[in-house]
Amino acid sequence: MKDKFIKAQQEKLTLGAIDRRQFMTSAIAAGIAIPTALSLASDAIAATPKKGGKFRMGLGHGSTTDTLDSGTSENHFTLVNGYTFGNHLTEINNEGKLVGELAETFESDDGKTWVFNLRKGVEFHNGKTMTSEDVLASYEHHMGEKSTSAAKGSLSPVRSIKADGKYKVIMELDSPDTDFPYIVSDYHISIRPAGDMTSGVGTGGYIVQSFEPGVKSVLKRNPNYWKEGAAHFDEVELLSIVDPNARQTALISGEIDAMDRVDLKTINLMKRNPNINIMQATGTAHYTFPMRLNVDPFGDYDLRMALKWAVDRQELVDKILLGYGAVGNDIPIGTANYFHNSDLPQREFDADKAAFHYKKSGHSGKIQLSAADAAFAGAVDAAQLMANSAKKAGIDIEVIREPNDGYWSNVWNNDAKGWCACYWGGRPAETMMFSAAYVAESKWNDTMWKTTDSAVKFNQLVKEARKELDESKKRDILYECQRLIYDDGGLLCPLFNSYVSANSKKIAHGKIAANWDSDGAKCVERWWFA
């Protein structure tokens, strides 16, 4: 009871509804010792966002081919930049929950027809008021026959999109999908004014002042920003600093206030610096080794099972992620996902089980595993470690070091290579992750798990899950989907990697989102100077 009262008072103090003195009085009245009350008060005040300052951030991505067109956005620099100047119909908040953004509310009776009620009085940076016309134009940008947008695939289930008045958009899907509102939060599908999809005019908290691809983006606070309690900095400078050492030096010498992707090899040195905070978020991102069922010998159930048991996952977490991550359980759904199946026993290294299945598969000779650090940092080392542990079970894995160049076109998702290293950023909704890489019709189905009995059942279940509006029924279906991948799928997923970033202690923030690096890639509008 007391805790609840103090918490409520703290919240009021954070929001400025009461002042420090009033808080102290009520805390002491509730029987709390003065030093404790004082520290409670300062905790709450530190959590109160303050306006102002110039925020400089160093990002480990960025290339001269970057643009302000969200359709070609493909790296973390364009992602953060895009979320800084643009908004979407929905967003995933820092608790991992889906909420409306430019769509104030959204609803569907059957999961097939979705109605998005747009927020009124939202202005673009060029002064134009946002209406359904702009939403339509923005979606058409990603959907047409000739569209080169990377979101074309995820919007392909949309059969028609139309406006109903100025503030209502109705989308009709080919088949029901109760997770569709997650898709529209995707960073590619930014809402821009009709007729201008590429010049970086959006509705976001910051206005682009100058953008030099591969170098930097300079932004200024949008004085008319509609979102309350967001966009606290006056000015923002996003710098592309690809070299991790340069990024870390810049943070240590105070030339930037925050950075993403800390080099884990030197993280202990960074930790010693008294002015720097290290942040870690384990979300949906994971490292995988997909086995293609249509390439010999991976079509064999026992061989796949043998390899799944032959990996020492904890060793990979310790040596490849240096502890910054979690073991994977051969499902593409992480603990950060709402319907993560925690009933499945965690797979560990078991030489006996691996040897048993290997013997049963009847395979002999080398099994080739292709890897390059283009897949993820340390992929080649991870493959070597896997080969080592598999040897203990009598399985001979030959690691082939592939060139980084052209890895995604020549090695990954290519029938020339049966088994390779890969990474996935993960998806906020389970059915989205399944649609991306595990359902039969997906172009990125890198395991080609399509024709086994389990795969056929899986495909049916995913369709059912998309239709299901009842939460507990949906949970049962999604749990079963995960079990099918876990048992029969071609997915070997040993690692969930954490996003590790660092910032100066001058920066304050609320709870950190885990759906993307950099606080869900929305750190610029969420953080402030303490």
Partner 1 sequence: MHPVVKTVLERLGLGLATLFFVSIIIFSAIEMLPGDFGQAILGQAALPETVAAFRQELGLDKPAYIRYFDWALGAIQGDLGTSFSGRNASGADRSAEVVDKIAPRLWNTLFLASMAALIAVPLSLILGILTALYRNSFFDRSVNTATLTTISFPEFFVAYILILFFASLNQIFPSLANVDPDTNFGERIYRTALPAFTLTLVIVAHMMRMTRAAIINLLASPYIQMAKLSGASQTEIILKHALPNAWAPIATVIAFNLAYLVVGVVVVEVVFVYPGVGQLMVDAVRTRDIPVVQGCALIFAVTYILLNLIADIIGIVTNPRLLHPK
Minimal distance, residue 58 CB to partner 1, in Å: 8
**211 or 479: whose CB is closer to partner 1?**
211
For residues 74 and 480, which CB has a smaller minimum distance to partner 1 in the complex? 74
Residue closer to partner 1 (CB basis): 169 or 241:
241
Strand partners, 399: 369
In the complex, minimum distance from the CB of residue 397 to partner 1, in angstroms, rounded to a whole number: 24
- H helices present in 238-378, as ranges: 244-252, 267-272, 301-309, 313-319, 351-361
Sequence-ordered alpha helix ranges (H) in 212-312? 244-252, 267-272, 301-309
Contact (CB, 8 A) for 259 and 248: yes
**Alpha-carbon span 436 to 422, nearest angstrom:** 14
Residues 6+ apart with CB under 8 A from 6: 27, 30, 32, 40
Of 67 and 384, CB closest to partner 1: 67
Interatomic CA distance for residues 437 and 449, integer angstroms: 10
3-state secondary structure at position 465: helix
How far apart are CB 103 and partner 1 at their closest, in Å? 23
The minimum distance between CB 422 and partner 1, in angstroms, equals 8
> Smallest gap, in angstroms, from Cβ of residue 65 to partner 1?
3
Those residues whose C-beta lies under 8 Å from the C-beta of residue 207, and which sit 6 or more positions away, are: 85, 125, 219, 220, 221, 222
For 133-259, strand residue ranges (E) read 158-163, 168-173, 206-212, 216-221, 235-240, 258-259
Minimum CB separation from partner 1 for residue 506, in Å?
Answer: 16
Residue closer to partner 1 (CB basis): 140 or 300: 140
What distances in angstroms separate CA 430 from CA 48, 211, 439, 462, one per listed residue? 34, 35, 12, 9
> At 380, phi and psi to the nearest 5?
-70, -45
What's the rounded Cα separation, in Å, for the pair 323 and 150? 33
- Smallest distance, Å, CB 214 to partner 1? 6
**In the complex, minimum distance from the CB of residue 82 to partner 1, in angstroms, rounded to a whole number:** 15
CA 409 → CA 91, 290, 491, distances in Å? 31, 15, 19
Close Cβ partners of 159 (under 8 Å, ≥ 6 residues apart): 172, 173, 174
In residues, how long is the chain?
Answer: 530
- CB-CB contact of 124 with 193 (8 Å): yes
Quote the CA–CA distance of 490 and 448 in Å, as a whole number: 8
CB of 75 vs partner 1, minimal distance in Å? 8
Residue that is written with structure tokens 């702009």 in the block: 134
Nearer to partner 1, 58 or 176 (CB): 58
Q: What is the closest distance, in whole angstroms, from the C-beta atom of residue 225 to partner 1 in the complex?
A: 25
Residue with tokens 């007729």: 195
Q: Which is nearer to partner 1, 301 or 408 (CB)?
A: 408
Q: Which CB atom, from 16 or from 274, has the smaller least distance to partner 1?
A: 274
Of 113 and 147, the one with the shorter C-beta distance to partner 1 is 147
Residues in contact with partner 1 by CB under 8 A are 63-69, 71-72, 74, 140-141, 144, 146-150, 152-153, 196-199, 210, 212-216, 239-243, 245-246, 249-250, 252-256, 403, 405-406, 408-410, 412, 443-444
Where does 241-396 have alpha helices with state H?
Answer: 244-252, 267-272, 301-309, 313-319, 351-361, 379-392
- Nearer residue to partner 1 within complex by CB, 199 or 368: 199
CB of 261 to partner 1, least distance (A): 15
Nearer to partner 1, 355 or 439 (CB): 439
